[in-house]
Structure 1
Amino acid sequence: MDIDKSNFRHRLLDILHAISDADFVAIDLEFSGIPNRIPNRPARKGQQSIEDRYQETKMGAERYQVLQLGLTCARFDYSANRYVLRPYNIWISPLVDDERLGIEREISFQTGAIQFLMENGMSMDTPFRRGVQYLSREEAKRARQEAHDRIDKKTVYEDSQLKETEIDALDFVRRVREEVKKFEDSDNMSLAINRGIGTNSAHVEWTISSYERRLVYQTLRAEFPTLVGISRDDHIKVIRYDAMREEDRRKRSKRQVDDRIMAQTGCRWLVEALAGGDLDLKPHYFAKDKDGQSIMVDMDFIRGKVRAAALRAKTRRPVLVGHNMFTDIVYFYKCFIGELPETSKEFCQTLHELFPRIVDTKYLATATATDSSRSPTLHEIALEHYAQPLPRMVQHSDHTKYENAEVPHEAGFDSLLTAGVMLRLSTSLEVDEQQSTSDASVVTASDLSASAPEFIPSFSPPRPAAPAQAVFVPDADAPEFVPALRPVKANYDTRVAQGDNGQVQKLATRFASHNPYATLEQADKETLSKPNWKEVPSEPTRPGVPIVTSKREPMEIMPDFESSFWKKYGNKLRVFGTHESFLQIAEWR
C-alpha cells in the first residue's frame, strides 16, 4: 500500500494498530546517498573495525536524507494458521511544511545513489511533491522549547542600535513613540501601528516590515512596560496589559504551537509506535481532508482509537526486523530520533532502549554459513526459500500492490521480502538445529523445500518436547480482534479478486511471475476484512474464556521470541568488511 501526504492522516490510525498488534515489523529504507561514497573522503584501506564503520555511516546519515520507508507488519492468525502481512510503502519528504517552527535542513544528494534509484523506477520529485513530512524527536523538542520561550518572553533579544545615518528608521521610531504616548494617555482600547503611523501621506506603503516590527517591539519593551504588542498580518496591535488575558493568550499560543508540531511530526508517529513512545495525538488532527480543510468526524470514536493505539504502543512493542540493516538503522535513528551518539557503544545502548529486540535477516542467513565470504542479497535469499511451503503467508486484502509485481529497491517491496525471509529462514533454521541434535528421524528444511509450492504435506510431529501453542477461542459475545481467514481454493490458471472499485479483476498466477511472493494467497475480501479496532485484549487473557491447545507442525510457526533460539540470532547486525563481522547490540531478553 502506497502512503503519501494525501492519505497519511487517514491511514495513520490503521497503521498504528497494525504495528502495535504485529508479531514483528520489517523495515527497509531508501536514501539519497550512501556512506562509503562520500565525496573527498579517503578510500578504505583493508578491513575496518566496527567503530570505523559506525563513524563512516554516521557521517553519511548526517549528510543524506531518507526518501522512502517500507514497513511490513506480520501477525500470525491462529484461526487460519497463517501469517497475515501488511506492507506499506511510505514516501518521506525532507521538507518542513511549517516555517514558523524554525526548523531548517540541508538536503544532499549523491549522484550514484540517485542514478541507481532512478534506474529502479523511483521518481525523484515524488518525495518533495507527495512525501509525508516528519520531525525527529530532537527537532520537535527544540521547536517547542524555542516557541514556548518566545511566548513566555524568556528569549533575550539584542536591541538594534540605530545609527545617525539611518534617517528613515529613526523617524519611524520617533513617530511610533509619539503615537504610543498619546494612546497611553487616552481611553482608546487599542492602537494599530503600521509603516505610515503618524503621517498623513497617501503615498506611504502601510504594511509594516519585519525590521520595523522589531523596532516597535524593542520600543514597547524599553519604554512602555504596561502595553503589549500583538502581531497582525500588516500591522502591530498595541493593547493594555491584562494579566489574566495575557495568561490565556500564552496558553492559546502554546496550544497552537503544539498543534503545528503534531501535524509536522508526521511519519515519526509510526516510529513512536515501534519504540513504545508517546502517541500524543489529538482527535482534531484527523478532522482534516487531504487539502487540510476541516471536516466532520466522530470525535469520540477517534479519541477511542487514539487511546487504544497509545495503550498498545506502550504495552506491546513488536520485534524490529531488517535485512543487512546496520546502515538502515543508523539512518533511521538520525532521521526520526535525532543526533547520533558519538561512539558505536553508546549507539548500541541508546538503540537497545528504543528497540529491545532487533533481528537482522542478513545475520540470520549467514550465521551458520560455511563460506564466510558469501554475502547473498535479499532477493537471492528469498529465491532460495521460494519453494518452502511453510509457514503459510498471505498479504492482507488491502495490501495487494506486490501480489503480482516485483518492485525491487522500493522500500515497501523490500520490507515485504524481508518479512518473508524472516519467517522462512527462522523456521527452517529451527528445524535444522533440532535435526542436528535429535536422534529421531525428522523432516528437515531441505525436505520441505523439495515439496511443490502448492502442496502442503501432512507431517508427523518431529519434536516430541515441543511446547504446545495456545489458540485463543473468543467467547461468543466478544468482538474478535484478529479476523478469521478462510482458505481460498487454488486455481492454477487464473485467480480473481474484487478490486476497490467493486469490479472483478484477473490476477496472474504464481507461474506468470518470478516474484517469490506471487505464491502468497489472495485472501477473500469478505473474510479478510479490516479488523475491529475496539479496545479488546489482543492476547487470550480474559477470565472464563476457554483455551484450546494444539501442537504445531514443524515450520508452521516461527520460533517463539521467548525461546533460546533468538539468544543465538537476535540483536546481532551483520557488518561485512569489518574485523568483527557483526555488531552485538545487546543480549536478547
Structure 2
Amino acid sequence: MEIYHGDFASKLPMIKEAIDACDFMAFDTELSGLHRPGNTQHLDSRDFRYNELKEAADRFIIVQFGLCTFKWDQPSGRYFAQPFNFYIYPRGMYIRSGPSRVFHIQAQAFEFLAKQAFDFNKWVYQGIPYLTPDEEDVFVENRRRLMSDNIPDIQVDEKERGFLAAAVETIQNWVDKGHKDQNYVNIEARNAYQRRLLYQEVRNKFPDLSTEGRRGFIRIMRLDAKEQEKRTNEMEKQFQSDRTEAVGFRQVIDWMTSSKKPLVGHNMLLDVAHVIGQFIQPLPDTKEEFKVLAHNMFPIMVDTKFLATCVPELSEVITGSTDLESLRFETTRHMFKNPRIDLGGYYMRYAADKAHEAGYDAFMTGSVFIKLMSYLYEKEHGPFVEEEKEKDEDQVSSSENSEDEEEDTQFDDDEEEEVYNYGSVHVPLLDEQQQQTALVARVSNKVSQARTIYRYFDFLHPEQDLINKPNTFFVQAKLQDIQAHLDVLTQPYGSYITEQTDTATIVAFQRVTVPVQEIVDALADGLHKALDLKVDVKSAQEYNFIGK
C-alpha cells in the first residue's frame, strides 16, 4: 500500500492497528546516497567503519521507507503480510526557527532509483514530512508562544509608521463607536512585516481585543467569555492537528519503537543508523553509545543477511549469493516451504514483483526471515506435523439423518463459514511473557557488516567472532605499547589495521602475499628486539580466537 502526504493522516489508524496486532515487523529503506566515494580499502577498523556509518547518516536521507507487518492467523494456518510504502520528504516549513534541511545526493544512488522507476515527483510533492523529538519541542514552543501572544516586540521601520498610525486610528474609531454595527474591523496588510506590526500594536494598545489572520487582512474583534472559550478550543484543536502533521512519519517510528516487537531487516546496520539519525537524534560519537541507543529503541533486531551467512545450519544449505533477491529465491525451495504467507486484502500491490521499492523489499525481507526461522525451529524441535482436520463421525451421522428434525439448520444465519486451513505451522518468536524465545535470542541483535575482520556487528556485546583468514595475526601485547614499532615492522607487508581485545592486539593486513609464518617470525623477532622481551605472535588459524 502506497501512502502519501495527502492520505497519511487518514491511514494512521490502519498503520497503528497493523503494528499493534503483528507478530513481527520488517523494514527497508531507499536512500539519497550510501557512502562517501574514494575508499578502496578491503578492511577497516570497527571505529573507522562506525565513523563512516555516522557520516552517511548525517549526509544522506531516507527517501522511501518500507514497513511490512506479519500476523499469524491460526484458523487459516498462515501468516498475513501488510506492506506499507512511504515516500519521505524533509519539508522545512515546520521549523521556522531554523534553516531548511540540507542533505546530500549521490548521483549513482539516484541513477539506480530511476532505473527502478522511483517516482521523484511523488517524493517531492507528496512525500511525508517529519520532525525529530527535539524539533517537535521547538515547534510546540514556537506555536504556544504565538497562541499566547508571548512574542517579543520588533522595531518599527520609519516607512511603516504611517501605515501603523492609520491602522490604530481605524481601530480606535471602531472602539469609540461601541462597534454596534459590526463586532469586528478589518485592517489590510500588504506583507508579513505589516501583519507582525499590527499584531504587536493591538497587543500593546488594545489588550482586550482579539486578532485573527485572514487572507490579505487582519480581523480585530472583541469576544465575550463564551466566544473566547470557543476560539481557544478551536486554536487548540488546530494546534494539535498541525502538530500531528508536522511530526508526520516519526509517529510510525514511535509506534514501532514502543511495540518492542521483533524488527527484521536485510543487511540492516545502515538502515538502523539512518532511522535513528533522521527521525530521532544525531548518531552519538562512539559505536558503544550507538549500540545502547539502537538496542533501547529496538530490543529485538534480526538481520536476514546475518542469518544466511553466520548461522551454521543455514550457511550450509544456502550456498549461493545472500543478497535479498537471491534469498527470496532460495526460500522457495521445499526445505523452506513452511510457513505459508499471503498478502492481506488491501495490500495486493505486491502480488507482482516490485523489487527495490522499499515496501516490497520489506515484504520480501520478512518472508525470508520467517521461513529461515521456521527451518531453524524444525532443526531444533524436529519435523513439523501438520494437523489434519478430522470430522467427528457422530456429527457426520447426525447430519446425514436429520430428516426428522423440525428445523433445517443448513441456512442458519448464525452458523460460521468454514475457514480453509493451509496447514502451515506457527513459528514462536516471543514467549508468554513477550520475551524473545531462545531461538530468537540466539540470532538477534547481530547484523552483517562488511570490510571488518569480524563476522558481524554485535549490538549487545563486544565483537569476538572473527573471519578466519591468513591475513590476521594476534600479538600478545597492548596496542599502545607496540603501535610505533608495528608501523616499522609491517612496512614490507603493506597497509594494515588493528583491533584491541582484552588479551591481544589484532593485526590484519589488507593483503598477504608472503608465507604466513614469515610475518609471524618478523613481528615476533622485531618486537622482541624493540621491547627487550618476548612477545607471542600467532596467526589466526593457530590462535583459535573463539571465546577469547
Q: 2:443 aligns with which of 569, 572, 589?
A: 569
Q: Residues 178-235 of structure 1, C-alpha deviation per residue, up to 9 Å, x if partnerless?
A: 44454555523766363xxxxxxxxxxx543222222223334455545544333222
Distance apart, 1:570 and its partner CA: 0.8
Distance (whole Å) between structure 2 residues aligned to residue 112 and residue 485 of structure 1: 49
Who is 2:348 aligned against? 400
C-alpha contact (below 8 Å) 2:83/2:363 kept by paired residues: yes
C-alpha contact (below 8 Å) 1:20/1:318 kept by paired residues: no
Query: Residue 263 of structure 2 aligns to which amino acid in structure 1?
Result: L
Who is 1:447 aligned against? none
Distance (whole Å) between structure 2 residues aligned to residue 229 and residue 130 of structure 1: 33
Unaligned runs of 5+ in 1: 195-205, 277-312, 436-441, 444-455, 460-476, 489-552
C-alpha contact (below 8 Å) 2:189/2:218 kept by paired residues: no
Who is 1:80 aligned against? 76
Who is 1:583 aligned against? 457
Partner of 1:68: helix, strand, or coil? strand
Specify whether residues 130 and 431 from structure 1 end up closer, same or farther in structure 2 by C-alpha distance, changes over 3 A only: same
Distance (whole Å) between structure 1 residues aligned to residue 414 and residue 454 of structure 2: 52
Specify whether residues 99 and 146 from structure 1 end up closer, same or farther in structure 2 by C-alpha distance, changes over 3 A only: closer
Query: Residue 124 of structure 1 aligns to which amino acid in structure 2?
Result: F
Specify whether residues 138 and 579 from structure 1 end up closer, same or farther in structure 2 by C-alpha distance, changes over 3 A only: farther
Distance (whole Å) between structure 2 residues aligned to residue 350 and residue 248 of structure 1: 43
CA RMSD of aligned residues (A): 3.9
Which deviates further from its counterpart, 230-239 or 116-125?
Answer: 230-239
Distance (whole Å) between structure 2 residues aligned to residue 363 and residue 236 of structure 1: 61
Specify whether residues 225 and 578 from structure 1 end up closer, same or farther in structure 2 by C-alpha distance, changes over 3 A only: same
Partner of 1:425: helix, strand, or coil? helix
Who is 1:306 aligned against? none
Distance apart, 1:127 and its partner CA: 1.6
Who is 2:167 aligned against? 176
1:201-350 superposed matches below 5 A = 207-239=189-221, 249-276=231-258, 317-350=260-293
Distance (whole Å) between structure 2 residues aligned to residue 479 and residue 321 of structure 1: 39
C-alpha contact (below 8 Å) 1:366/1:375 kept by paired residues: no
C-alpha contact (below 8 Å) 1:358/1:570 kept by paired residues: yes
Which deviates further from its counterpart, 82-91 or 1-10?
Answer: 1-10
Distance apart, 1:414 and its partner CA: 1.1
Partner of 1:402: helix, strand, or coil? helix
Query: Residue 427 of structure 2 aligns to which amino acid in structure 1?
Result: M
Who is 1:464 aligned against? none
Who is 1:119 aligned against? 115
Distance apart, 1:54 and its partner CA: 3.3
Specify whether residues 9 and 485 from structure 1 end up closer, same or farther in structure 2 by C-alpha distance, changes over 3 A only: farther
Q: Which has the larger radius of gyration?
A: 2
Specify whether residues 227 and 7 from structure 1 end up closer, same or farther in structure 2 by C-alpha distance, changes over 3 A only: closer
C-alpha contact (below 8 Å) 1:390/1:556 kept by paired residues: no
Specify whether residues 172 and 567 from structure 1 end up closer, same or farther in structure 2 by C-alpha distance, changes over 3 A only: same
Number of residue-to-residue matches in the alignment: 424
Specify whether residues 132 and 176 from structure 1 end up closer, same or farther in structure 2 by C-alpha distance, changes over 3 A only: closer
Specify whether residues 139 and 99 from structure 1 end up closer, same or farther in structure 2 by C-alpha distance, changes over 3 A only: closer
Specify whether residues 216 and 44 from structure 1 end up closer, same or farther in structure 2 by C-alpha distance, changes over 3 A only: farther
Specify whether residues 193 and 339 from structure 1 end up closer, same or farther in structure 2 by C-alpha distance, changes over 3 A only: farther
Is 2:367 the partner of 1:420?
Answer: yes
Is 2:24 the partner of 1:61?
Answer: no
Who is 2:322 aligned against? 376
Unaligned runs of 5+ in 2: 388-412, 431-435, 462-548
Distance (whole Å) between structure 2 residues aligned to residue 64 and residue 410 of structure 1: 18
Q: Residues 418-445 of structure 1, C-alpha deviation per residue, up to 9 Å, x if partnerless?
A: 112211222223444x49xxxxxx66xx
Distance (whole Å) between structure 2 residues aligned to residue 225 and residue 13 of structure 1: 42
Distance (whole Å) between structure 2 residues aligned to residue 117 and residue 3 of structure 1: 18
Is 2:414 the partner of 1:560?
Answer: no
What percent identity do the matched residue pairs reach? Answer: 26
Who is 1:486 aligned against? 420
Distance (whole Å) between structure 2 residues aligned to residue 225 and residue 397 of structure 1: 58
Distance (whole Å) between structure 2 residues aligned to residue 82 and residue 177 of structure 1: 72
Distance (whole Å) between structure 2 residues aligned to residue 186 and residue 254 of structure 1: 32
Which deviates further from its counterpart, 105-114 or 220-229?
Answer: 220-229
Who is 1:363 aligned against? 306
Q: Could you tell me the TM-score, scaled by structure 1's length? A: 0.62
Distance (whole Å) between structure 1 residues aligned to residue 349 and residue 222 of structure 2: 61
Who is 1:154 aligned against? 150
Distance (whole Å) between structure 1 residues aligned to residue 428 and residue 45 of structure 2: 32
Distance (whole Å) between structure 1 residues aligned to residue 371 and residue 6 of structure 2: 35
Partner of 1:262: helix, strand, or coil? helix
Q: Could you tell me the TM-score, scaled by structure 2's length? A: 0.66
C-alpha contact (below 8 Å) 1:361/1:422 kept by paired residues: yes
